[in-house]
């Protein structure tokens, strides 16, 4: 591993320190076993392999966790993209937040309908799919069965930031034999701040807190008196999570193509923040999106300074980067109403994934040419 020691004068990187002080979860070994055999199979098949990360990571406030801080993400981007990668011929490891959306089942879970609403009683008293949903369900079922038959999809769950980071590190390391055929598509919403293991309270934090800070009971907290003399406040001191994109590029996956997502709420920051990420981490593509319009438009930002907006077709006529704010807001509200009413729309991931695939194919060709010259 050629990981550079960044942010630490002692020679140990911040990422190394993180893993030393936040031990691996129990599930890691079994997940590694599954990932190892999945990768081994596809090293020999002709398929390219993508690690799709999806959903938010949590930051537990207690070791026996009752409360936690969460990051926004339903898992729609990841689960939908995974389906289009599968259709495009990729083998997919889907590293996802437990109970967030999954490829294929997403069409029927987490919806405003209960799953029983898709069923009806047949003439023989048996349970059948409601004729209104049969066509769509058959289409989804066929794709799902094909992915299973071809062993194209491996689902690995995580919940906390520590579980996510261990899984990312170990899976990336297992991807190495794939060389440039490995693609990392990082759609998960990853915590920037956390409570280190050695400062976690073992038991549930009590709301009837001590009247003054008690560092033994709550070593990472100060339930102190406020300036106004009010007690029972919970003040939390969070440490920064090291920037793992750096470790991924420098050490864990030196040969793979790495695509990260950038989420912002202020449009004026989006492109510049994406460009800064590319400069800082030296990876291959940042896909920028805004919280309010993430289902309808994204921007591809590349290391050569390129920026390309992609809008779903219904958008193109009415929405562009220069659309005034009030029209944009109205458009997004109309689209949400259409989605809730079950009116079909183009999924933007059906436009993102083919473009990423084409970039990955160019990346593979270029890396093969470089190897031949060497």
Stretch that binds ligand PMT, among 197-205, 261-269, 317-325, 351-359 (CB under 6 A): 261-269
Helix (H, G, I), strand (E, B), or coil: what is residue 139?
helix
- Pick the binder of ligand PMT from 140, 187, 285, 301 (CB under 6 A): 187
Burial class from Cβ neighbours inside 10 Å (0-12, 13-18, 19+) for residue 80 reads: buried
Stretch that binds ligand PMT, among 4-12, 188-196, 324-332, 361-369 (CB under 6 A): 188-196
Select 164 or 218, whichever has its Cβ closest to ligand PMT: 164
Applying CB under 6 A, does 77 fall inside the site for ligand PMT? yes
- Pick the binder of ligand PMT from 22, 76, 275, 293 (CB under 6 A): 76
Applying CB under 6 A, does 260 fall inside the site for ligand PMT? yes
Select 84 or 218, whichever has its Cβ closest to ligand PMT: 84
Select 86 or 209, whichever has its Cβ closest to ligand PMT: 86
- 166-169: long-range contacts at Cβ-Cβ below 8 A with a sequence spacing of 24 or more? 166/19, 166/24, 166/25, 166/28, 167/28, 167/31, 167/95, 168/51, 168/53, 168/95, 168/244, 168/248, 168/252, 169/15, 169/19, 169/244, 169/247, 169/252
Give me the DSSP letters along 42-109. HHHSS--EEEEEESBPBEESBSS-S-EE-----SHHHHHHHHHHHHTT-EEEEEEETTS--TTGGGTS
Applying CB under 6 A, does 294 fall inside the site for ligand PMT? yes
Applying CB under 6 A, does 241 fall inside the site for ligand PMT? yes
Applying CB under 6 A, does 245 fall inside the site for ligand PMT? yes
Helix (H, G, I), strand (E, B), or coil: what is residue 218?
coil
Stretch that binds ligand PMT, among 69-77, 117-125, 174-182, 309-317 (CB under 6 A): 69-77
- Pick the binder of ligand PMT from 31, 97, 262, 311 (CB under 6 A): 262
| Closest to 81 in 3D by CA, of 58, 109, 104, 97 | 104
Applying CB under 6 A, does 74 fall inside the site for ligand PMT? yes
The end-to-end CA distance of the chain, in Å, is: 21
- Pick the binder of ligand PMT from 261, 296, 300, 363 (CB under 6 A): 261
What are the residues whose beta carbons fall under 8 Å from the beta carbon of 345, sequence distance 6 or more? 312, 314, 335, 338, 339
Applying CB under 6 A, does 239 fall inside the site for ligand PMT? no
Stretch that binds ligand PMT, among 7-15, 16-24, 229-237, 255-263 (CB under 6 A): 255-263
Stretch that binds ligand PMT, among 17-25, 75-83, 113-121, 354-362 (CB under 6 A): 75-83
CA distances from 313 to 2, 45, 271, 296, 310 (A): 44, 36, 22, 9, 9
Least separation in angstroms between CB 294 and ligand PMT: 5
How many residues bind to ligand PMT according to rule CB under 6 A? 20
Residues near ligand PMT (CB under 6 A): 73-77, 186-187, 189-190, 192, 241, 243-245, 260-263, 289, 294
């Amino acid at each position: 591993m050629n990981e550079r020691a960044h942010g630490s004068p002692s020679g140990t990187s911040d990422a190394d320190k993180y893993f030393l002080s936040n031990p691996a979860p129990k599930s890691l070994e079994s997940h590694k076993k599954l990932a190892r055999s999945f990768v081994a199979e596809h090293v020999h098949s002709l398929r390219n392999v993508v690690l799709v990360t999806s959903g938010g990571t949590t930051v537990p406030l207690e070791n026996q966790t009752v409360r936690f801080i969460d990051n926004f993400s339903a898992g729609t981007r990841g689960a939908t993209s995974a389906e289009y990668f599968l259709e495009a011929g990729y083998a997919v490891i889907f590293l996802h937040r437990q109970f967030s959306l999954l490829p294929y089942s997403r069409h029927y879970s987490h919806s405003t309908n209960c799953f029983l609403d898709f069923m009806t009683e047949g003439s023989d008293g048996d349970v059948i799919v409601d004729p209104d949903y049969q066509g769509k369900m058959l289409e989804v079922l066929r794709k799902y069965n094909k992915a299973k038959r071809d062993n194209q999809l491996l689902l690995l769950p995580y919940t906390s930031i520590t579980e996510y980071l261990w899984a990312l590190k170990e899976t990336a390391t297992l991807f190495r034999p794939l060389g440039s055929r490995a693609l990392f598509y990082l759609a998960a919403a990853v915590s920037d701040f956390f409570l280190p293991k050695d400062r976690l309270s073992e038991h549930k934090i009590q709301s009837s807190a001590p009247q003054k800070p008690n560092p033994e009971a709550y070593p990472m907290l100060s339930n102190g008196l406020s300036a106004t003399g009010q007690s029972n406040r919970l003040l939390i001191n969070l440490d920064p999570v090291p920037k793992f994109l750096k470790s991924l590029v420098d050490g864990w996956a030196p040969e793979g193509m790495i695509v990260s997502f950038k989420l912002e709420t202020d449009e004026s920051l989006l492109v510049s923040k994406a460009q800064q990420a590319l400069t800082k981490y030296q990876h291959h593509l940042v896909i920028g999106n805004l919280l309010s319009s993430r289902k309808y438009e994204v921007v591809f930002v590349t290391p050569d300074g390129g920026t390309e907006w992609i809008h779903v077709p219904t958008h193109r006529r009415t929405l562009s980067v220069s659309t005034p704010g009030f029209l944009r807001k109205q458009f997004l509200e109309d689209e949400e109403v259409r989605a809730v009413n079950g009116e079909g729309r183009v999924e933007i991931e059906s436009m993102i994934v083919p473009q990423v695939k084409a970039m990955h194919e160019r990346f593979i060709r270029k890396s093969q040419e470089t190897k031949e010259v060497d």
